[in-house]
Amino acid sequence: MIINHPILGPRDAAEFVYLGDAALINRPDGMTASVETFHDYLYLRDNPAGEHRELWYHEQGDRSWLVVTRNTVTHEITKVELARDVARAQGRSK
Amino acid sequence: MRFSALKILKEALTGHKGWQPMWRDPVPQAEYDYVIVGGGGHGLATAYYLAKEFGQARIAVLEKGYLGGGNVGRNTTIIRSNYLLDGNEPFYEFSLKLWEGLEQDFNFNAMVSQRGILNLIHTDAARDAATRRGNAMLLNGADAELLTRDQVRAMYPWLNFDNARFPIKGGLLQRRGGTVRHDAVAWGYARGADMRGVDLIQNCEVTGLRIEGGRIRGVDTTRGHIGARKVGVAVAGSSGKVMSYAGMRLPIESHVLQAFVSEGLKPFIDGVMTFGAGHFYVSQSDKGGLVFGGDIDGYNSYAQRGNLPVIEDVIEGGMALMPAIGRARLLRTWGGIMDMSMDGSPIIDKTHVDGLYFNGGWCYGGFKATPASGWCFAHLLARDEPHKTAAAYRFDRFLRGAMIDEKGQGAQPNLH
């Protein structure tokens, strides 16, 4: 798989480390969230067959986190964004 | 259908016109007591033991493709019970004991071959870990032997003992481990279940779960609605999809694992061997091909095929361990979809829906578990309580902080 890095251009997926569903960006507030909320955040996954937004870390490159939109049935990558931009668009400060 | 030497002789002389299908091709009935979703190894074993050991009737197995067309036909055929943790080892030892009696039990040749499995040791720390694991195995009634470097050398003199980075310093051997003809496991269970009246319904994909008032009423399928008193789901990589019909999200991600077979070679590996430093394991099939594999690709996938970097990584592991295979050609590679759980251990449990049961999260280790998984799932379905060896395989272990993390890697599917 080739991941088209928004800054560095096309890079081999082997340069990246995979974390999982991009919903992991939305971590609950540790001071207020219940144990059940954190359990769901940490352990439960949608695990879709088809389009999947997911976090990849460019460990062998510029060490940026990316949100890659990829089809889990065909491995086709349709969109690559900086995770920073995605988080900020959702109202996060960083 | 039954086989005998006399029957083979008779058919040989009469043009092989008298062979019958191994199991019926029944039309689904309107309702069953038990519907098992998934006609792979675990689903077929569940139906077989439900009928045979738990005396239940009116059972159907629904399979979206053909029987045994999923991971039971795509794995590397290894059986073993060399686990460390209390939640795991009694279950896998129960499974190995069932493997030992399986062919007599279902009267079918599954080519169970207890040729031994050897985990290689490369460092002093690894020897300590192997010693601990071996002791845990012995405490649970399994067999384990710690081998010195010379004992390993006597078994496999051509291994790369003096690799500068990962010298071989010994091994942990389980002689009762080995390999099994994987397709024959599905066929044997299917035939045994069919002979006991289980309806094996193929080309029948479940498209919905009918739930009324918190209770399962049946399943919607591509061949119409089928009523059920109890539904057991054993669909491996499709677990997330099927359980989403009950509104459930699972502690599971589906990942692709690749496996490999070389061209046929003369016999030179008579057991199963694992490289403890990289992730590489190998055995030699009866046809002579080296059957080997390594890590999962590491990203969510339903594609049943992987990518080249992992192929390179696995084969590098093989070359580091046994340079002798360098000129062997790779014959085939393929991928299967693993239901990777968060802690690397499976789930056999009830759900929040009355009468709906789940069996999954087997990661890449489901094949060896097939008999015990079927037995324990049948136990849960028939008696509504977990079998004692599967009591730890619960959904709520993540909420309780009671994970069964055999590798100590943390709750991240692609690390197991």
| pLDDT tens track for A4-52 | 999 999 999 999 999 999 999 999 998 999 999 999 999 999 999 999 9
Q: What is the pLDDT of residue B347?
A: 98
Radius of gyration of chain A (CA): 14
Domain containing A11 — which CATH number? 3.30.2270.10
Number of folded domains that form chain A? 1
| pLDDT tens track for B218-253 | 999 999 999 999 999 999 999 999 999 999 999 999
Interatomic CA distance for residues A73 and B66, integer angstroms: 20
B347-361 average pLDDT score: 98
Q: What is the pLDDT of residue B119?
A: 97
Q: Which residue of A has its CA nearest to B400?
A: A39
Query: Options 3.40.309.10, 3.40.50.620, 3.10.20.30, 3.50.50.60; which CATH number does B24-77+182-251+343-415 get?
Result: 3.50.50.60
Residue A94: inside a domain: no
- 8 A C-beta contact, residue B314 and residue B291: no
Q: What is the pLDDT of residue A17?
A: 96
| pLDDT tens track for A41-77 | 999 999 999 999 999 999 999 999 999 999 999 999 9
Contacts within 8 Å (CB) and 24+ apart, B294-298: B294/B258, B295/B257, B296/B255, B296/B256, B296/B257, B296/B338, B296/B340, B296/B364, B296/B414, B297/B255, B297/B256, B297/B257, B297/B258, B297/B335, B298/A18, B298/B255, B298/B414
B320-340 average pLDDT score: 94
| Range B114-178+253-341 classified under CATH 3.40.190.10 | no
By residue count, chain B amounts to: 416
Q: Does A34 touch chain B (CB under 8 A)?
A: no
Q: What is the pLDDT of residue B180?
A: 97
The neighbour count for residue A62, using CB atoms within 10 Å, is 11
| pLDDT tens track for B116-144 | 999 999 999 999 999 999 999 999 999 99
Q: Return the closest-CA partner of residue B291 out of B125, B114, B77, B46.
A: B77
| pLDDT tens track for B276-291 | 888 899 999 999 999 9
Q: Which residue of A has its CA nearest to B298?
A: A18
> Tokens for B294?
């390594």
Q: Return the closest-CA partner of residue B263 out of B334, B329, B311.
A: B329
Q: Does A29 touch chain B (CB under 8 A)?
A: no
Domain boundaries, chain B: 24-77+182-251+343-415, 114-178+253-341
| pLDDT tens track for B142-153 | 999 999 999 999
List the domain range (segments joined by +) for residue A6: 2-89
Nearest to A75 among B241, B303, B412 (CB): B303
| pLDDT tens track for B74-109 | 999 999 999 999 999 999 999 999 999 999 999 999
Q: Which residues of B touch A35 (CB under 8 A)?
A: 399
> ipTM > 0.85?
yes
Interatomic CA distance for residues B80 and B271, integer angstroms: 12
Q: Which residue of B has its CA nearest to A22?
A: B300
Torsion angle (degrees, nearest 10) of CA A57, A42, B81, B293: -20
Q: Quick one: pLDDT band at residue B30, thresholds 50, 70, 90?
A: very high
DSSP string, B86-154: TTTHHHHHHHHHHHHHHHHHHTS----B---EEEEE-SHHHHHHHHHHHHHHHHTT---EEEEHHHHHH
Q: Quick one: pLDDT band at residue B37, thresholds 50, 70, 90?
A: very high
> Tokens for B388?
């004692």
Q: Which residues pair with A20 in a beta bridge?
A: A55
Q: Which residues of B touch A53 (CB under 8 A)?
A: none
User: Could you tell me the CA-to-CA distances from B364 to A84, B296, B345, B368, B405 in Å, in that order?
Assistant: 34, 8, 10, 10, 14
> What's the mean per-residue pLDDT of chain B?
96
Residue A56: inside a domain: yes
> Tokens for B189?
């269970």
Q: What is the pLDDT of residue B415?
A: 83
Across the interface, whether the CB atoms of A42 and B398 are under 8 A apart is answered yes
